[in-house]
Structure 1
């Protein structure tokens, strides 16, 4: 197998990046500011995408960003990131965030998110990326689900374009 054309999920995954939540990370409700968590997810997904592609990458879409529970001051956030699937020049990269109490080791799943990144060549144009090879049953499940999310995203884009061409321009966008 040519390493330039195929890569295993484990070759670019981030298994446990940690971030300690300090008082400056809290919002008025005294929970971790969601934008800080989102920014960390985006940066870590970028690292996984660049590791996988060997190229500069940019965020193209965020299909889902679900906050399941709040993180609190003094929690330790544990980020787990992996490339779920690749297409021609794009990659779906999933991230799961766990909030851990460092004293008791109690864990709470607080975020699941799916980002799409595109690899770029030297002139800023999309460039092909290696195919991803899922190794475990969980990676194979995420691989299949990524295609479902992509199909839904493309259908939504097509439906919105058709709606706008009929003059339905309500709202932002």
Structure 2
């Protein structure tokens, strides 16, 4: 597989924020923005791998500024780093007041996608390489984020095993004073 530059995977989506997209504060629902983020990041991952992908994780979604009704939100994503079958995707969302032209970075996020074959099994992806200084900065810090992801995933498995599928999780821990 040939290596590909980060910019070949760039995906961009701009949306107008309308009343049904907003909460009681007149700002974009966080979940709506997260859906835009996952959608655009998945497009970037597929564009890089040229294979179907599944979302493996979202490291964080940091909401830095509100996106107001009537504004636009532009979500940009590209692959920053690859492992054998997985890809880290950086996402940046920019809100723009369409009347004034004032723009702010409103959200940043890192997501991981895994390429899958026709049977749904993980399959290799091409390596990616940075060109710009910003791409290099993200690529250089990606192994540390990957290690943090691995630790967080192990912790998530421990929590899932401890809590299981039923509620209450452990009847004997409930005393009459807790009811």
Output the TM-score relative to the length of structure 2. Answer: 0.85
Contact 1:71 1:110 in 2 (8 A): yes
Partner of 2:90: 94
The 5 Å alignment of 1:1-173 reads 4-14=1-11, 16-159=12-155, 169=162
Q: Displaced runs of 4+ in structure 1, greater than 6 A?
A: none
How far apart, CA to CA, are the structure 2 residues paired with 1:137 and 1:17? Answer: 23
3-state DSSP class of the match of 2:40?
helix
Cα displacement string for residues 28-81 of structure 1 (whole angstroms, at most 9, x for unaligned residues): 121111111100110111110000001000101001111111100000111111
Output the TM-score relative to the length of structure 1. Answer: 0.88
How far apart, CA to CA, are the structure 2 residues paired with 1:113 and 1:45? Answer: 10
**Shift in Å at residue 5 of structure 1?**
2.8
How many aligned positions are there?
A: 165
Contact 1:5 1:129 in 2 (8 A): no
How far apart, CA to CA, are the structure 1 residues paired with 2:155 and 2:18? Answer: 43
3-state DSSP class of the match of 1:144?
helix
How far apart, CA to CA, are the structure 2 residues paired with 1:12 and 1:26? Answer: 30
Structure 1 unpaired stretches of 5+: none
16-25 or 121-130: which moved more?
16-25
Larger Rg: 2
**Shift in Å at residue 12 of structure 1?**
1.1
CA RMSD of aligned residues (A): 2.0
98-107 or 152-161: which moved more?
152-161
